[in-house]
Chain A
């Protein structure tokens, strides 16, 4: 199965700052990648699908890019409600896997 490696595993950032999270696939997955946000004690929320498409209702400060094996999620201006753990997820050959997550904390 394809492995997804997220980096960093955690980071500290300030409100208003720009944050870039990385997800690397162990082989080419084209653009079949999504990003989710999970806050403590809550269910995950879909942010981005097909690597760069913004899910309806998600603020435009979130953006995704990449294809093949390297992907990024960028938060252009971090807001207090954005402090959470972010997961990437891929589909290939009828198997779905998630990355290990990146925890975004307040600086």
Chain B
């Protein structure tokens, strides 16, 4: 079965950096686009970034553009999110999600359990 396991969350000071990882299994990772979606404590869902199946296409939410970088290693079936210049408003649970399919790449059919990022001094 599909499994997405995030890691790398923690507490970081404003202006700091953090790299999240997502280990994927149970499907052919290299065939699917992947996303990061976040959720601030007690708040709604907020899409962060997308990367195409081969890493060539990347899209970002305006709120993170220029600060966050999404990447993937298909040989390791792992998704990454490099987060720089972190702000208090980036505090959230970060979910790794799988695109439903090629046609519906903007829908998320599997989600990880999430990893909490706290930006605080």
Residues of A bordering B, CB below 8 Å: 1, 32, 34, 36, 38, 43-46, 49-50, 55, 87, 89, 91, 94-101
B9 at the interface (CB under 8 A from A): no
B61 part of interface (Cβ distance < 8 Å):
yes
A87 x B104 contact (CB < 8 A): no
Whether the Cβ atoms of B104 and A49 lie closer than 8 Å is yes
Complex: chain A residue closest to B50, CB-CB:
A96
Residues 67-121 of B contacting A (Cβ, < 8 Å): 95, 100, 104, 106-109, 111-114
In this complex, how many residues of chain B approach chain A with their Cβ under 8 Å: the count is: 20
Q: Is the CB of B109 within 8 A of A96?
A: no
Contact A101 B100 (CB under 8 A): no
Known: A46-B100, A49-B100, A49-B104. A98 touches B109 (CB 8 A): no
Q: How far in angstroms is the closest Cβ of chain B from A4?
A: 10
Tell me which of A34, A50, A98 contacts B44 (CB under 8 A).
A98
Contact A99 B44 (CB under 8 A): yes
Residue B45 at the chain A interface, CB threshold 8 Å: yes
Q: How far apart are the CA atoms of A97 and B37 in the complex, in Å? A: 10
Contacts of B112 in A (CB 8 A): 43
Query: Known: A95-B61, A100-B44. Contact between A43 and B113, CB under 8 A?
Result: yes
A-B contact pairs, 26 of them (CB 8 A): A1-B62, A32-B106, A34-B107, A36-B45, A43-B95, A43-B111, A43-B112, A43-B113, A44-B45, A44-B108, A45-B111, A46-B100, A46-B107, A46-B109, A50-B104, A55-B109, A87-B44, A89-B47, A89-B108, A91-B106, A94-B59, A95-B47, A95-B61, A95-B62, A98-B45, A101-B45
Q: Known contacts being A1-B62, A95-B59, A95-B61, is A46 close to B47, with CB within 8 Å? A: no
Pick the 5 closest A-B CB pairs, nearest first: A91-B106, A43-B111, A96-B47, A98-B45, A49-B107
Q: How far is the CA of A44 from the CA of B114 in the complex (A)?
A: 11
